[in-house]
Amino acid sequence: MATILSFIVAVVVAAVVLMIVSRLNLGLSVTNFTSALIAAVVIAVVGAVVNWLLGALGINVGGGLLGTIIYLIVAAIVLMISDRFVAGMRVNGFGGAIIAAIAIAVVYWIVTWLLGQLGMTV
């Protein structure tokens, strides 16, 4: 039960992050919270599949600057793929996807840090 609850909380937090980034007009737009919820689930599924495929191909991302750049490119591609599956979500090209991926990472870090300060975990 705790695993299901943490997944639900993570999806809701991700949807809130998508809504915040959408309002910043940085290359990603989401029309409403329902679309953001669906987009959060689709992004999680597509991201898991892409990471699994990279692992199956023997591509080890690693850490450091190169790993960060690869994760950023993968996140942008995941956003662009998710754009095709979610009505109400729009990504403005690869440049918009890169900028949105950076914004999502920063806003998600801030939100999880604030929740951690309140004693909650995601």
pTM beyond 0.85, yes or no: no
Residue 43: CB atoms within 10 A of its CB come to: 24
Write out the DSSP string of 30-86: ESSHHHHHHHHHHHHHHHHHHHHHHHHTT----SHHHHHHHHHHHHHHHHHHHHHH-
pLDDT value at residue 31? 93
* Partners of residue 89 on adjacent β-strands: 30
Question: Which residues of the chain are modeled with pLDDT < 70?
Answer: 1-2, 61-63, 121-122
| 45/10 Cα distance (integer angstroms) | 13
Residues 6 or more apart in contact with residue 51 via CB below 8 angstroms: 74
